[in-house]
């Protein structure tokens, strides 16, 4: 049977990807060293758990989805995906491999679990997808990945409670897949920020979100999406990708490693690795 | 813990309706040929998307808040900012 080895959640602010591409992680001018310094431990953990497949939980940035069709939840079910021009020039083309058998199993299981998720036979990742991958695999290692996208663009948005339950349903879906596969969740986004505007970093709220997500995630469900915006800015909603990745894990988790660093451009930057607690 | 609870705010349907054409135009700018077309003749490009006079004026102002006031979504704002020379990432 397939099993979940754990969840990695991280910010995906564009400057992170650009810094990796230019190999400027230690550049004091950028001030991002404390964030990047946390990642060798993450990569070590990833090597230990050795995932066969990654479920990549992210929010599209008005690239793959326009407002012409805006599902609440979507899953990529194609054998391959590409990266995307986000409006500021086409990046060097990349192709990402998937595992369509597992993806369609997940889609089927979610629908049976009353999550009517949209299936995508084509999906182009923006930095929301690629940044986290590059933090974990700077060498662009090929690892099959299944994208799960949640709407953080335009209300009405799925509630935090619903999003936590989506994570639980994803966990159930993977647990019922007959093939022996080690599956890792990778959630990307957050933490507090509003695009292009300084002053929305809320360190206290970010700390609360990280701590509560690990230890008492159901408490996050008492928020509305607007509560999260009121505290963490409009794009603070991206934290909900973390909630999905947490929902897929058991009630008790251990935090393997984490970091909080601000500012990463105009965002509160965070990373957290969680795995099922030793019983 | 100073967490604010505001509940769920009502949707501003008028703004969603008004902003759709502008957001659709913003999304179109993820393609290089469309960015070039916009830059070659901004008025013609906006007319193609049926932008209201208010929306056209907002884009021409290059002012973020004016564009937001006619329903532009932040995720599409970055793409318009980029093509109008505002720089910065197209999204974040």
Annotated active-site residue A101? The verdict is no
A3-276 CATH: 3.40.830.10
Task: Return the pLDDT at A199.
Answer: 81
Best A13, A62, A69 member to test B by mutation, with max B CBs in 10 Å, is A62
B39 is a domain residue: yes
Looking at residues A133-154, what average pLDDT do you find? 94
Task: Return the pLDDT at A12.
Answer: 93
Q: Which residues of A touch B17 (CB under 8 A)?
A: none
Task: Return the pLDDT at A110.
Answer: 98
Task: Return the pLDDT at B47.
Answer: 98
- Domain boundaries defined on chain A: 3-276
Task: Return the pLDDT at B60.
Answer: 96
Task: Indicate yes or no: CB of A87 within 8 angstroms of CB of B2.
Answer: no
Looking at residues A149-168, what average pLDDT do you find? 96
B68 is a domain residue: yes
B63 is a domain residue: yes
| Closest CB to B11 among A156, A227, A235 | A156
| DSSP character string of A233-265 | -GGGGGHHHHHHHHHTS-SSEEEEEEEEEEEET
Confidence of residue A149 (pLDDT cuts 50, 70, 90): very high
Task: Indicate yes or no: CB of B77 within 8 angstroms of CB of A196.
Answer: yes
Task: Return the pLDDT at B2.
Answer: 83
Q: Is residue A111 predicted with pLDDT exceeding 90?
A: yes
First to last CA, chain B: 28
Task: Return the pLDDT at B88.
Answer: 57
Task: Return the pLDDT at A93.
Answer: 94
Q: Is residue A48 predicted with pLDDT exceeding 60?
A: yes
Query: Which pLDDT tens digit goes with each residue over A244-261?
Result: 999 999 999 999 999 999
| DSSP character string of A46-98 | HHHH--SEEEEEE---SSS--TTS--SEEEE-SSEEEE---SS-PPSP-EEE-
B78 is a domain residue: yes
B2 is a domain residue: no
- What percentage of chain A exceeds 90 in pLDDT? 92
Task: Indicate yes or no: CB of A87 within 8 angstroms of CB of B30.
Answer: yes
Residue of A61, A105, A193, A261 marked active site: A193
Interface of B with A (CB under 8 A): 1-9, 11, 16, 20, 23-24, 26-27, 29-32, 35, 64, 73-79, 81-83, 88-92
Task: Return the pLDDT at B91.
Answer: 54
Residue of A61, A127, A261, A266 marked active site: A127
Confidence of residue A279 (pLDDT cuts 50, 70, 90): low
Annotated active-site residue A127? The verdict is yes
Q: Is residue A241 predicted with pLDDT exceeding 70?
A: yes
Structural domain count of chain B: 1
Confidence of residue B86 (pLDDT cuts 50, 70, 90): confident
Range of the domain at B47: 13-83
Quote ipTM for the complex. 0.91
What CATH code is carried by the domain that includes residue B48? 1.10.700.10
| Closest CB to A86 among B11, B83, B90 | B90
| Cα A9 to the center of its chain, rounded Å | 6
Looking at residues B52-78, what average pLDDT do you find? 95
Dihedral over alpha carbons A107, A115, A166, B17 (to 10 degrees): 110
Torsion sign across C-alpha atoms A231, A237, A239, A240? positive
3-class secondary-structure state, position A133: helix
Q: Kindly state whether A93 is in contact with chain B, defined as any CB-CB distance less than 8 angstroms.
A: no
B33 is a domain residue: yes
Confidence of residue B56 (pLDDT cuts 50, 70, 90): very high
Q: Is residue A95 predicted with pLDDT exceeding 70?
A: yes
B60: its two tokens: 């021409």
Distance from CA of B77 to the nearest CA of A (A): 9
Task: Return the pLDDT at B54.
Answer: 97
Task: Return the pLDDT at A92.
Answer: 92
Looking at residues B72-87, what average pLDDT do you find? 90
Chain B's closest residue to A264, CA to CA, is B92
Confidence of residue A197 (pLDDT cuts 50, 70, 90): confident
Best A19, A65, A88 member to test B by mutation, with max B CBs in 10 Å, is A88
Q: Which residues of A touch B1 (CB under 8 A)?
A: 204, 208
State how far the Cα of A158 lies from the Cα of A165, in Å rounded to an integer: 11
Task: Return the pLDDT at B87.
Answer: 59
| Closest CB to B78 among A13, A195, A225 | A195
B50 is a domain residue: yes
Looking at residues B54-64, what average pLDDT do you find? 96
B23 is a domain residue: yes
3-class secondary-structure state, position A119: strand
């Amino acid at each position: 049977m397939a099993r979940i080895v754990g969840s990695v959640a991280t910010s995906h602010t564009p400057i992170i990807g650009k810094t990796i591409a230019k190999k400027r992680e230690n550049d004091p001018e950028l001030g991002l060293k404390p964030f990047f310094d946390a990642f060798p431990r993450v990569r070590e953990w990833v090597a230990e758990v050795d995932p066969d497949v990654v479920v990549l939980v992210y929010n599209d940035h008005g690239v793959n989805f326009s407002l012409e069709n805006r599902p609440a939840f979507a899953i990529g079910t194609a054998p391959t995906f590409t990266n995307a021009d986000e409006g500021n020039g086409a990046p060097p083309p990349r192709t990402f491999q998937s595992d369509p058998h597992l993806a369609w199993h997940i889609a089927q299981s979610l629908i049976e679990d009353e999550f009517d998720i949209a299936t995508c036979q084509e999906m182009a990742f923006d930095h929301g997808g690629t940044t986290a991958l590059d933090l974990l695999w700077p060498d662009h290692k090929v690892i099959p990945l299944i994208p799960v996208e949640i709407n953080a663009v335009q209300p009405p948005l799925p509630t935090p409670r619903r999003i936590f339950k989506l994570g639980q349903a994803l966990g159930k879906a993977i647990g019922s897949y007959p093939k022996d596969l080690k599956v890792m969740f990778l959630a990307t986004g957050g933490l507090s920020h509003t695009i292009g505007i300084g002053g929305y970093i809320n360190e206290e709220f970010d700390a609360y979100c990280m701590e509560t997500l690990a230890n008492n995630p159901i408490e996050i469900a008492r928020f509305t999406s607007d509560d999260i915006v009121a505290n963490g800015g409009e794009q603070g909603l991206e934290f909900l990708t973390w909630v999905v990745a947490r929902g897929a894990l058991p009630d008790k988790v251990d935090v393997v490693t984490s970091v909080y660093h601000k500012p990463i451009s105009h965002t509160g930057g965070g990373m957290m690795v969680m795995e099922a607690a030793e019983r | 813990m100073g967490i604010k609870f505001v509940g769920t705010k009502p949707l501003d349907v008028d703004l969603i309706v008004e902003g759709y054409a502008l957001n659709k135009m913003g999304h179109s700018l993820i393609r290089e040929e469309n960015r070039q077309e916009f830059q070659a003749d901004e008025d013609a490009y906006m007319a193609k998307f049926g932008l209201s006079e208010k929306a056209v004026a907002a884009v021409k102002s290059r002012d973020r808040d004016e564009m937001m006031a006619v329903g532009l979504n932040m995720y599409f704002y970055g793409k318009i900012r980029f093509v109008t020379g505002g720089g910065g990432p197209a999204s974040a």
